[in-house]
A = this chain, B = another copy of it.
């Protein structure tokens, strides 16, 4: 009963098999491996973007930080949600790489176009004194488990384009969002107005690989230099390529995301039946739900692992509703979900 995170489960066996397959003979280092050529071509194909620049790094924070640094200047500000991963969970890495400041667009988890426009307008009244307007970073799936609709993405990108600002999509859970929206990768990125994408694999069955995709390739060489200078260029790059190749083979990435989302749906349905309340309707593989302290205690004692959200088990009032975050990855079995629900 492990619902703590989607970075704690095992990797899919196909990925290990692909590592073994890649482990034959000699390969040029630093991204010049033959498997990377294949991966690049396939990502370009999947995104209908024949000229896209495609790179692999090993952590989501590296993907976000390097992409944002490439899109921005150190005297600029990056617009994002107040709960964006780049703001809350990367220990100043985006600032370290870019030199830019993060401007938190007021509102909730999801940025609203009007709030974004107001934030951007607010950053250009002081000439050289204030930071200049820089990229907009959108998180899809959001950190609270919501999924922007295509219309919402388009509207946010349109605001950015009003001001000629580039758009970055933090897609650590890109696959989960894609299968939730049932749209094409192109629709969820460049067709909506996204310029650079962190295309996550780590949370969806890989050991540790994220692709960074620039739909405009003009920044490609700068990105390569930034990646090396950030110590994120792997010498034995073939093992990153192999993970991504396994991910794309036979649409494994989509299958795993569908499984994770289905797991979350099964869990959400059960929670609903048990009377739990939701922060908002679960859409991908994360659930933010509230139910009584007594039930949390019961689950906890039975070994269920997940994070309470702004709450603590300690407390007298057994009926108090405590919020929690429940995350499902691809590997969770139905029996685990049902056992969890039965304990409620």
Contacts and interface: CB of A to CB of B under 8 A. Distances in A.
Contacts of A126: 88-89
A132 to B, nearest CB: 7
A231 B232 contact: yes
Contacts of A130: 88-89, 91
A75 to B, nearest CB: 4
Given A91-B130, A96-B74, A26 B2 contact: yes
Given A74-B229, A231-B61, A232-B59, A8 B24 contact: no
A231 B28 contact: no
Interface stretch (A98-106, A184-192, A276-284): A98-106
A88 B305 CA distance: 43
A93 interface: yes
A226 to B, nearest CB: 7
Contacts of A290: none
Interface in A1-58: 2, 4-5, 7-11, 13, 16, 19-20, 23-30, 58
B10 A23 contact: yes
A25 to B, nearest CB: 7
Interface in A213-240: 222, 224-226, 228-236, 239
A8 B26 contact: yes
Nearest to A206: B236
Interface string A81-111: 0000000111111011101111010000000
Contacts of A230: 93, 96, 230-231
A131 interface: yes
Contacts of A232: 59, 62, 231-232
Interface residues of A, number: 71
A236 B58 CA distance: 10
B95 A101 contact: yes
Contact of A29 (B8, B62, B131): B8
A61 B129 CA distance: 10
Nearest to A130: B88
A207 interface: yes
Chain A contact residues, majority secondary structure = loop
Contacts of A75: 91-92, 225-226, 228-229
A285 interface: no
B96 A59 contact: no
Given A7-B236, A30-B128, A231-B232, A74 B59 contact: no
Contact of A91 (B23, B25, B65, B131): B131
Contact of A90 (B10, B74, B93, B129): B129
Contact of A208 (B96, B229, B239): B239
Contacts of A135: none
A70 to B, nearest CB: 12
A202 interface: yes
A60 interface: yes
8 contacts: A8-B27, A8-B29, A19-B207, A74-B96, A92-B100, A202-B236, A230-B231, A232-B232
